[in-house]
Amino acid sequence: MMFSAELKKGSTEMLVLSLIEERPRHGYEIGKLIEQRSGGRLKFALPTLYPTLLRLENRGWIKGRWVEKAGERERCYYRLTPEGRRVLEEQQKTWIAYVAAVNDVMGGSRA
C-alpha cells in the first residue's frame, strides 16, 4: 500500500527527527531506514528528503557534521540538537494523541 504525498507531507519532519534520535545518521541512511522500517510502504525520494534536512537544520533542530568513519567515505551525519529533541517529543506526543483521536473516531463509527 502506498500513501499519497499529501498524507506523507505532514509526517516527514517527525520521521527524520525520530530516526536520528538514537544516533547520528547520514542522508542516504535516513531514506533507507524509512523504507525498511515501513516495510517499503513509506518511501521518501532524495528530492523530498534533502530539502527537509536543510530546512530542519536551518531551524536549528538538527545539526549536520562531515565525518569520515573507518572504512567509509566522508558523509554528512545529522544529529538531534537539544532544541530538536524538545520539538520531537512534542511532535510525538501530538502525533500519538492525534492517531488515538483518529482511531477513536473511526473505531467509534465502526462500532
Which residues are near other proteins by CB under 8 A?
A: 26-28, 31-32, 45-47, 50-52, 54-55, 58, 64, 73-76
Residue 31 CB, shortest distance to other proteins, in Å, is 8
**Phi, psi at 17, each rounded to 5°:** -60, -45
Cα 31 to Cα 39: distance, rounded to the nearest angstrom: 13
Residue whose CB is less far from other proteins, 78 or 80? 78
Residue 28 CB, shortest distance to other proteins, in Å, is 4
Residue 53 CB, shortest distance to other proteins, in Å, is 8
* Strand locations in the chain (E): 25-26, 62-68, 74-80
Classify residue 33 as left (phi > 0), alpha (psi -120 to 50) or beta: alpha
Residue 3 CB, shortest distance to other proteins, in Å, is 20
Residue whose CB is less far from other proteins, 26 or 84? 26
Residue 52: count of CB within 10 angstroms of its CB:
19
